[in-house]
Amino acid sequence: MSAQAADGTGRTYRRRPRHGRLFWTVADCWNVVRRGLTHYRRQPVSILWQLAFPILSVLLYGYVFGKAMQVPGGGDYKTFLMPGMFVMTVTMGFISTATIFVHDSKKGVIDRFRSMPMAPSAVVAGRGATDMIVSCAELGIMMGTAYGMGWRPDGGIPFVKAVALLLALRFALIWVGVWLGLMLPSPEQAGGLFAIVFPLTMISSIYVSPQQMPHWLGQVALWNPLSSTASATRALFGAPTGTGTSWPEQHALLLAGVWPAALTLMFLPLAVRRFQKLSR
């Protein structure tokens, strides 16, 4: 590829191929990220829409049901609930990953990207990077809201660790989102993902401790990846964690690392394979 090459029509086009492939892959990623962030710049309210559900949950469970909700072993329910809401926030985020991917693939935007001389990997990687940035902002807003409601977590290293675990879960869910986005037959179905996410968050330790559920449901909730992150971050933020003595509760910190790693190991190759399959 030369800087100026004649095409079939005898005209010239001017690209800047002076840099190597790695440079352009990073540059392409960044431009895909820019696009994603511009979406939020043009529609800033959309971020609030995405946070509406966790925020309403805090109000509903924290204030309306607040007195009725019990933490086994005692402790303030609102303090118990907040880390759960952060888990909820990162979990809901994957719906937006899937939504934009299903839109882009069905409306031909991904085809356009793939017909261009950009790095194909940047389409997926750029999306993932955008989602991580947006998730940081969402967590920031949620924590600010929680602080406003009187939430006072332990600071220092444990706090940083807790945030890292939340982001690790979000990172794993990016690949689930990309994979689902490429699987769904139409953009309308993306809204239906809420129907999957909602029970997933209910049957976990996000709202109540699994001990308080019927036995079999409690077992499902115990092994729910969301429960591990919720329990682990509770411990790190210094919130009451309930009195669970089961193995997954005793090893929440370990599982909060293992689950996202396992999900990533499983869904990242699936998502990449699905993306490559587009050319078959």
How many Cα atoms sit within 13 Å of 26 on the Cβ side?
4
User: By CB under 8 A, is residue 131 in contact with other proteins?
Assistant: no
Site string for other proteins, 81-110 (x = CB under 8 A): -------------------------xxxx-
User: By CB under 8 A, is residue 191 in contact with other proteins?
Assistant: no
CB of 24 to other proteins, least distance (A): 6
Cβ(205)–Cβ(230) below 8 Å: yes
In the numeric block, which tokens belong to residue 205?
């330790």
Rounded Cα distance between 48 and 89, Å, is: 11
User: By CB under 8 A, is residue 56 in contact with other proteins?
Assistant: no
Give the residue carrying structure tokens 């392409």. Answer: 28
Residue 43 DSSP SS3? coil
Residue 5 DSSP SS3? strand
Rounded Cα distance between 103 and 264, Å, is: 23
User: By CB under 8 A, is residue 2 in contact with other proteins?
Assistant: no
Rounded Cα distance between 250 and 255, Å, is: 10
Q: Which of 16, 20, 185, 195 binds other proteins (CB under 8 A)?
A: 16
- In the chain, what is the straight-line distance between the N-terminal and C-terminal CA atoms, in Å? 27
User: By CB under 8 A, is residue 13 in contact with other proteins?
Assistant: yes
User: By CB under 8 A, is residue 14 in contact with other proteins?
Assistant: yes
Q: Which of 49, 56, 73, 111 binds other proteins (CB under 8 A)?
A: 111
CB of 71 to other proteins, least distance (A): 42
CB of 8 to other proteins, least distance (A): 4
CB of 34 to other proteins, least distance (A): 7
Q: Which part of the chain contacts other proteins (CB under 8 A), choosing from 24-32, 61-69, 132-140, 156-164?
A: 24-32
Nearer Cβ to other proteins (16/215): 16
Cβ(259)–Cβ(225) below 8 Å: yes
Q: Which of 116, 160, 164, 220 binds other proteins (CB under 8 A)?
A: 116
Q: Helices (DSSP H) in the chain: which residue ranges?
A: 21-42, 45-57, 77-106, 109-114, 120-148, 156-183, 194-202, 215-223, 225-237, 247-250, 252-277
User: By CB under 8 A, is residue 269 in contact with other proteins?
Assistant: no
User: By CB under 8 A, is residue 43 in contact with other proteins?
Assistant: yes
Q: Using CB under 8 A, list all residues that contact other proteins.
A: 1, 5, 7-11, 13-17, 24, 27-28, 31-32, 34-35, 38-39, 42-43, 106-109, 111-118, 278-280
